[in-house]
Amino acid sequence: MGKTITEKIIEKHLVAGRFIPGTEIAIRLDQTLTPDSTGTMAYLQFESMNVPRVRTELSVSYIDHNTLQIGFENPDDHIYLTGIARKHGIVLSRAGNGICHHVHLERFGKPGKTLIGADSHTPTGGALGMIAVGAGGLDVALAMAGEPFYITCPQVIRVNLIGRLRPWISAKDIILKVLEIFTTKGNVGCVLEYGGEGLSTLTVPERATIANMGTECGVTTSVFPSDEMTRRFLKAQQREEDWCEIQADPDAAYQRSVEIDLSELVPLTAKPHSPDQIATVREVGGISVQQVCVGSCTNSSYKDLVTVACILKGKLVHPDVSLIIAPGSRQILENLARDGYLADFFASGARLMETACGFCVGNGQSPPTNGVSLRTSNRNFFARSGTQTADVYLVSPETAAAAALTGRFTDPRDLGIAYPEVAMPERFHVDDRMFIRPEETAEPSAVKIVRGPNIGKPPKNDPLPKTIRGEVAIKVGDKITTDHITPAGDLLKYRSNIPKYAEFVFRPVDPSFYERALKNRDAGRHNVVVAGLSYGQGSSREHAAICPMFLGVKAVIARSFERIHSANLINFGIIPLIFHEPDVYNRIAQGDEIEITAIRKTIQNGGKIIIRNITRGEEFECLCELSERQKALLLAGGALNLKK
């Protein structure tokens, strides 16, 4: 029997285990990346391991999320990141060079390689035929220290693309269709592997849009073949030597297959407040729009932005609309300028933002009160934009441009103009001077690491107690994201100051949680979180585990977990428990007294995990499937404790 692309790459990197879906495996990692938002903590953890130089083929530190510098915290962290890179052999991408996923795709991604990144949209690299996986910063720190990465061996799902996109339909509509089919839950432990005749028309940046936003399905990653289109992209980036062909065998076996006819797609949108709330643009109707944002790691490529520029050319943005343009990289910005498209943007009344994550992560450009914002980014979670009353819709660049001109939600096919057919350049202008490479720096021993007052240390945790006793400090519903647990936006500046960041845990859901949890912790009582389905969606932000750990959370009981967050909980000594009988969720309340006796012994030796609800006088069973490695992590109180 033949092999899938996923199987071929993983088998070449196996350190432990075999490619048997559902089992735990360990793989060798060729590359790592970190954005500044999660990188500061990752490097603090890496420092604690006392490893002098990174042990990967390539590790890159990007300054891209927190470039909005209000206060000293962000610039201080950037100075810290610069020193760390110089001392430990890491490539530094300076502020202004672009978003990590775009820049890595352009300058570093290689077919057949493995990549782990401290950002959930690291699967963007799958567009080049990589196994690229998002993870918590501690997993990335361990990889830089030479440790393998442990994951559940995935089920591989084939997404077969046939036909050809019609005018005004683009890659964003493909991935929105995928989200309509798969939704945001129930896909943990799967890889989406793309194939079919329809791929021959999709450029690498278009594939990157699909791979990037596949993250919202909750899959481990998405992967495309490395084919002639891949070679063209790498040649245009002046690194054709990095290309190799990678294809699935004709008789490869898949867990299931889904077929999408590209010729049947229409302009789609994801309605508030979830990426899987899919409707056609015409179904949404002509509602008024106050803001349009084109950019993010999903849709800010040269092709995306040139398409928008051509639609806007000779026209003026509607007076009720603020149009934001944010190129994905400095390379894209420079090529737009050289080719004259920036002049078209400026003439239309568009506002040019920095080449950074910006509005996507809530750092600037919040919509007005009760405003409607159309965005080409990947997430429209409640309040992520920075305005709790705003409605954020996810759309293609074409639909975004149509709304910018009309002031209303408009199907771009109704603009009455010819669709701009944009060809990819055969050769991009490349300028790598915004990278600081290890070979350009001073002797590592001479590098001084500068730590501002906002930079702390990784918080310590105690080993798992014999018994967990405390209360349900909060009960939340389905689809709780890491933005609900540790909000992003301007609060990301506290990412290296855990005591401060912990003050905002669950603030969008319950502003009183912090005081309640702190009171329990200081009184020697444990905190327990109860949740519904798909707990921990969204960002790989490990702070959503670190900050609860700091506040004395010892267990989370949920109806289901998302992959990265579940791994992060274990990494920091918090037990992820799943209700054996889902109805028990409805019989447990915030404030209930909880006891889990002999939990340390049960984790160590196996057996049923029985939880006693003292308040309601009942007991119920929970499931907790753990590998021997994960058991050791929990018993030690987390991966850092075990590593030491």
Strands 291-294 and 155-162 come out as: unpaired
| Predicted confidence (pLDDT) at residue 599 exceeds the cutoff of 70 | yes
For the residues of 50-72, what is the DSSP string, one character each?
Answer: T-SS--SSEEEEE--S----SSS
> Two tokens at 331?
């390379």
Look at the pTM and tell me if it is higher than 0.85.
Answer: yes
So what's the pLDDT on residue 47? 94
Tell me the mean pLDDT in the region 504-528: 96
| Predicted confidence (pLDDT) at residue 399 exceeds the cutoff of 70 | yes
Q: List, edge to edge, every strand of the sheet that includes 435-436.
A: 131-134, 114-117, 31-35, 58-62, 91-93, 435-436
CB atoms within 10 A of CB 366: 19
So what's the pLDDT on residue 438? 87
DSSP state for residue 449 in the 8-state scheme: P
162 touches 151 (CB < 8 A): no
State the burial class of residue 625 (Cβ atoms within 10 Å of its Cβ: 0-12, 13-18, 19+): exposed
Three-state secondary structure of 297-324: CCCCCHHHHHHHHHHHCCCCCCCCCEEE
| Predicted confidence (pLDDT) at residue 382 exceeds the cutoff of 90 | no
Strands 575-579 and 593-596 come out as: unpaired
One fold for 5-264 and 468-637: no
* pLDDT tens digits for range 180-221: 999 998 899 999 999 999 999 999 999 999 999 999 999 999
Strands 24-27 and 351-352 come out as: unpaired
Distance between CA 574 and CA 298 in Å, rounded? 32
So what's the pLDDT on residue 296? 94
- The residue ranges of DSSP E strands in 432-533, in sequence order, are 435-436, 468-475, 526-530
Confidence of residue 1 (pLDDT cuts 50, 70, 90): confident
* pLDDT tens digits for range 546-583: 999 999 999 999 999 999 999 999 999 999 999 999 99
Handedness of CA 164, 167, 173, 177 (dihedral sign): negative
Handedness of CA 345, 346, 348, 353 (dihedral sign): positive
Q: Which residue type does 27 have?
A: I
479 touches 184 (CB < 8 A): yes
Tell me the mean pLDDT in the region 111-138: 97
Q: Which residue type does 428 have?
A: F
Distance between CA 403 and CA 288 in Å, rounded? 9
Distance between CA 151 and CA 432 in Å, rounded? 34
Distance between CA 29 and CA 547 in Å, rounded? 28
Confidence of residue 641 (pLDDT cuts 50, 70, 90): confident
329 touches 97 (CB < 8 A): yes
Tell me the mean pLDDT in the region 399-403: 98
> Two tokens at 85?
């890179």
So what's the pLDDT on residue 442? 63
Fold for the domain defined by 268-413: Aconitase; domain 3 (3.30.499)
* 463 Cβ contact partners less than 8 Å away, ≥ 6 residues apart: 573, 635, 636, 637, 641
CA–CA–CA angle 253, 255, 259 (5° rounding): 90
So what's the pLDDT on residue 445? 80
Distance between CA 345 and CA 295 in Å, rounded? 14
Tell me the mean pLDDT in the region 499-508: 96
513 touches 505 (CB < 8 A): yes
108 touches 58 (CB < 8 A): yes
Confidence of residue 292 (pLDDT cuts 50, 70, 90): very high
Q: What is the CATH number of domain 468-637?
A: 3.20.19.10
State the burial class of residue 273 (Cβ atoms within 10 Å of its Cβ: 0-12, 13-18, 19+): middle
Average pLDDT, whole number, for the chain? 95
Percent of the chain at pLDDT exceeding 90: 89
Residue keyed to tokens 């995306």: 304
Percent of the chain at pLDDT exceeding 70: 100
Find the range with the poorest average confidence among 25-29, 134-138, 203-207, 488-492. 488-492
So what's the pLDDT on residue 441? 64
Q: How far is CA 242 from CA 154, 162, 223, 426, in A?
A: 27, 28, 17, 17
Distance between CA 323 and CA 308 in Å, rounded? 11
Sketch the domain layout of the chain as residue ranges: 5-264, 268-413, 468-637
* pLDDT tens digits for range 464-482: 999 999 999 999 999 999 9
Confidence of residue 45 (pLDDT cuts 50, 70, 90): very high
So what's the pLDDT on residue 579? 96
Distance between CA 62 and CA 82 in Å, rounded? 10
321 touches 285 (CB < 8 A): no
| Predicted confidence (pLDDT) at residue 324 exceeds the cutoff of 80 | yes
* pLDDT tens digits for range 213-252: 999 999 999 999 999 999 999 999 999 999 999 999 999 9
* pLDDT tens digits for range 409-461: 999 999 999 999 898 999 999 999 999 998 766 688 889 999 999 998 888 89
Relative orientation angle of helices 563-571 and 543-550, to the nearest 10 degrees: 40
Is 3.40.50.300 the CATH classification of the domain at 5-264? no
So what's the pLDDT on residue 440? 66
